[in-house]
């Protein structure tokens, strides 16, 4: 049963932009925290951005000012706009959902995950 499905990844040059989309049917904005995470080979998964059930936003320091998370509840979709990409952003990106408003960048608290979409940034 598909719950979270990411799309929009690809290969771009440094300085470019990508917009990731996550189809998230059944996850009500007022109940769930929605987040974006990424994992590169040999590295641990890290939280990138999240929206709490109270509407609060959380961003990793490494992406503040460059990435923007948003959600369209009417369309049951989550987005991650990524600008000024660098090779350090190369990773597989995942969307996820958990109940509650807080700790939206802590991956261990999430129960539902998509399969991810690859983002590769060349120098």
- Kindly state the tokens that stand for 26: 């059944």
The string of DSSP codes covering 78-121 is EEEEE-S--GGG-EEEEEEEEESSS-TT-GGG--EE---EEEEE
- Kindly state the tokens that stand for 120: 């590769």
Q: What is the pLDDT of residues 78-110, one digit of tens each?
A: 999 999 999 999 999 999 999 888 889 999 999
Cβ-count burial of 8 within 10 angstroms (0-12 exposed, 13-18 middle, 19+ buried)?
middle
Q: What is the pLDDT of residues 8-36, one digit of tens each?
A: 999 999 999 999 999 998 888 788 899 99
Confidence of residue 1 (pLDDT cuts 50, 70, 90): very low
Tell me the CA distances in angstroms from 24 to 5, 32, 119, one per residue in order.
Answer: 7, 11, 20
């Amino acid at each position: 049963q598909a719950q979270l499905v990411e799309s929009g990844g690809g290969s771009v040059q440094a300085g470019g932009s990508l917009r990731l989309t996550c189809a998230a049917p059944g996850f009500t904005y007022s109940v769930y925290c929605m987040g974006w995470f990424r994992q590169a080979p040999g590295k641990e998964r890290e939280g990138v951005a999240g929206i709490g059930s109270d509407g609060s936003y959380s961003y990793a320091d490494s992406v503040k000012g460059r990435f923007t998370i948003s959600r369209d509840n009417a369309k049951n979709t989550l987005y991650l706009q990524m600008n000024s990409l660098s090779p350090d952003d190369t990773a597989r990106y995942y969307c996820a959902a958990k109940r509650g408003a807080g700790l939206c960048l802590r991956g261990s608290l999430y129960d539902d995950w998509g399969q991810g979409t690859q983002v590769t940034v060349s120098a």
